[in-house]
Amino acid sequence: MDKSDTRRKSMHIKQENIRNFSIIAHIDHGKSTLADRLIEMTGMLTSREMQEQVLDKMDLERERGITIKLKAVRLVYKAKDGQEYVFNLIDTPGHVDFNYEVSRSLAACEGAVLVVDATQGVEAQTLANVYLAIDQDLEILPVINKIDLPSARPEEIINEIEDIIGIESHDAPLISAKDGLNVEQVLEEIVKKVPAPKGDSKAPLKALIFDSYYDSYKGVTCYIRVFEGQVKPGMMVKMMATGKSFEVTEVGVNTSKHIPLDSLSAGEVGYLTASIKNVKEARVGDTITDLKHPTAEPLPGYKKVIPMVYCGIYPAEGEDFNTVRDALEKLQVNDAALVFEPETSVALGFGFRCGFLGLLHMEIIQERLEREFDLNIITTAPSVIYRVTKTSGEVLEIQNPSNLPAPAEIHYMEEPIVSANIMTPTDYVGAIMELCQNKRGTFKNMEYLEETRVVLHYDLPLNEVIYDFFDALKSKTRGYASFDYELKGYQQSELVKMDILINSELVDAFSLIVHEDKAYERGRTIAERLVDVIPRHQFAVPIQAAIGSKIIARETIRALRKDVLAKCYGGDISRKRKLLEKQKEGKKRMRQIGSVEVPQEAFLTVLKYDEK
Contacts with another protein by CB under 8 A lie at: 538, 560-571, 573-574, 577, 580-581, 583-584, 587
How far is the C-alpha of 214 from the C-alpha of 325, rounded, in Å?
17
- In angstroms, give the least distance from the CB of 574 to another protein: 6
- Per the CB < 8 A criterion, the answer to whether 515 and 440 are in contact is yes
- In angstroms, give the least distance from the CB of 489 to another protein: 52
- What residues contact residue 308 under an 8 Å CB cut-off, 6+ apart? 355, 356, 357, 358, 384, 385, 416, 462, 487
- In angstroms, give the least distance from the CB of 585 to another protein: 9
114 forms beta bridges with: 24, 142
Residue 202 vs 561, nearer CB to another protein: 561
C-alpha triplet 89, 177, 11: angle, nearest 5°: 30
Q: What are phi and psi of 254, to 5 degrees?
A: -110, 115
- Element containing residue 416 per DSSP (H, E): strand 410-425
- In angstroms, give the least distance from the CB of 315 to another protein: 24
Residue 257 vs 567, nearer CB to another protein: 567
- Element containing residue 547 per DSSP (H, E): strand 541-547
How far is the C-alpha of 205 from the C-alpha of 471, rounded, in Å?
47
- In angstroms, give the least distance from the CB of 559 to another protein: 10
How far is the C-alpha of 223 from the C-alpha of 218, rounded, in Å?
13
Residue 170 vs 577, nearer CB to another protein: 577
- Per the CB < 8 A criterion, the answer to whether 189 and 115 are in contact is no
Sign of CA dihedral 448, 449, 454, 458: negative
- In angstroms, give the least distance from the CB of 331 to another protein: 37
- Neighbour-count burial of 353, counting CB atoms closer than 10 A to its CB (0-12 exposed, 13-18 middle, 19+ buried): buried
Residue 292 vs 577, nearer CB to another protein: 577
Please provide the DSSP assignment of 108-170 as one string: T-SEEEEEEETTT---HHHHHHHHHHHHTT-EEEEEEE-TTSTT--HHHHHHHHHHHT----T
- In angstroms, give the least distance from the CB of 537 to another protein: 9
Residue 406 vs 566, nearer CB to another protein: 566
Query: Buried b vs exposed e over 227-242: b needs ≥16 C-beta within 10 Å?
Result: bbbbbebebebbbbbe
Residue 226: name the closest of 194, 201, 248, 246 by CA. 201
Residue 438 vs 595, nearer CB to another protein: 595
- In angstroms, give the least distance from the CB of 556 to another protein: 14
Residue 537 vs 554, nearer CB to another protein: 537
How far is the C-alpha of 585 from the C-alpha of 590, rounded, in Å?
9
How far is the C-alpha of 212 from the C-alpha of 232, rounded, in Å?
18
Residue 243 vs 570, nearer CB to another protein: 570
- In angstroms, give the least distance from the CB of 242 to another protein: 55
Residue 437 vs 538, nearer CB to another protein: 538
- In angstroms, give the least distance from the CB of 579 to another protein: 8
Residue 277 vs 582, nearer CB to another protein: 582
- What residues contact residue 104 under an 8 Å CB cut-off, 6+ apart? 208, 209, 210, 211, 284, 285, 301
How far is the C-alpha of 20 from the C-alpha of 471, rounded, in Å?
37
Residue 52 vs 563, nearer CB to another protein: 563
Q: What is the CA radius of gyration of the chain?
A: 27
- In angstroms, give the least distance from the CB of 543 to another protein: 19
